[in-house]
Amino acid sequence: MRPWTWTRKIPVVAYNPFLVHARRVHSYSFHVFRDVPPLRQLRRELGKSNRTVGLVPTMGALHDGHLSLVRQAAAENTDVFVSIYVNPTQFGVNEDLDSYPRTWDADMEKLERLNRELRSDQGGSVTAVFAPTTKVMYPTIPPTSEIDGHGSFVTITPLANKLEGASRPVFFRGVATVCTKLFNIATPDRVYFGQKDVQQCVVIKRLVKDLHIDTEVRIGATVRDPDGLAMSSRNAYLGSRRRAVGLVLYRALHAGELAFNSGKRTREEILDAARRVADDTLASQKALLPSERALFEVDYISLADPETLDELDVVDPNRGAILSGAVKMMPVEEPRPNEDLGVGSGTIPVRLIDNILLMPNGHRDL
């Protein structure tokens, strides 16, 4: 039995009975845990020394958006736990679970480099990476992606049925379930999520409030590439052609934001500005040859209340709104020789989501 991989001692941690089963395989500056009991023991020891823990849940394939959350957690806590687990229950039956990027070695290198930076600043740092197996996370009944499948699940309705949930009916059930498990395992003082997944943030805040989970939900700003594309692990699928056209979502939402900033407040005024960008871009792509174009489908463009996610007819300036959308980039039709097609060679449809907060009095956060 080797429930965790030990690489260094943390001064506040006393004798650990799991240490006799440890195996030193890498020289990371943090512990890597595969099972629950030793992570809980570490958490108890940190608590005895009045240290605070910030948890950053991820599915790996780490990018600068994830790392910005780790930095935020390190600035607000003495210790940061990062979870890396591709959760099967938030993928639908026909979604991309098997092809989802898994980049363990690169993820560890990124966290190690970041830890050196954090420690040079003498603030908090990454203490633990929790990378469980599915058997650890779902110890009795194997997880299911069926809508009416058996299992122990957490559901947050009606929030989970709107926007993303309308197209991905099991997604937020899986998110709420795995996050409840992680919060119970790590008992963090604070948990960190990115605004890019804005509906997830609203669901998690409702989960913590309604189930009386003793943690604070902290939301980090969306991290974007210089051209505006929101960073996402799924961007690895795009390749250069679909990536360039995939900017349509951000441009459409930005057009809606400009309408709001110019004084427009009605749903029609704001969403019409956004839809014009999407419609014009799609028309221009359809006019190109199959070897040149990147087609997409708009799933939704939404103007919703920031707490209930109910669609709005008029934005209340005292409450603001969430302007969000989703597009599906279709597979590349006719790849060109030596074309950059991304992970999956351009054959995998890519769902892109994004949002902009239209907040009262210039505020930019939830």
Task: Enumerate the active-site residues.
Answer: 66
Give the count of beta carbons closer than 10 Å to the beta carbon of residue 358: 25
The beta strands (E) that lie in the chain are given as 4-5, 31-33, 53-58, 79-84, 125-130, 190-194, 216-220, 296-304, 321-329, 350-358
- In the block, which residue shows the tokens 């420690």? 119
Task: Say if CB 286 and CB 318 are below 8 A apart.
Answer: no
Which alpha helices (DSSP H) does 121-266 contain, by range?
134-137, 164-167, 171-186, 198-210, 239-246, 248-261
CA 202 – CA 205 distance, rounded (Å) = 5
Residues pairing with 83 in the sheet: 57, 130
Burial (CB < 10 A; 0-12, 13-18, 19+), residue 70, is buried
Residues 6+ apart with CB under 8 A from 108: 26, 28, 129
Which tokens is 216 given?
Answer: 């604070």
CA 11 – CA 26 distance, rounded (Å) = 20
- In the block, which residue shows the tokens 């804005």? 198
**Helix (H) or strand (E) segment spanning residue 212:** none
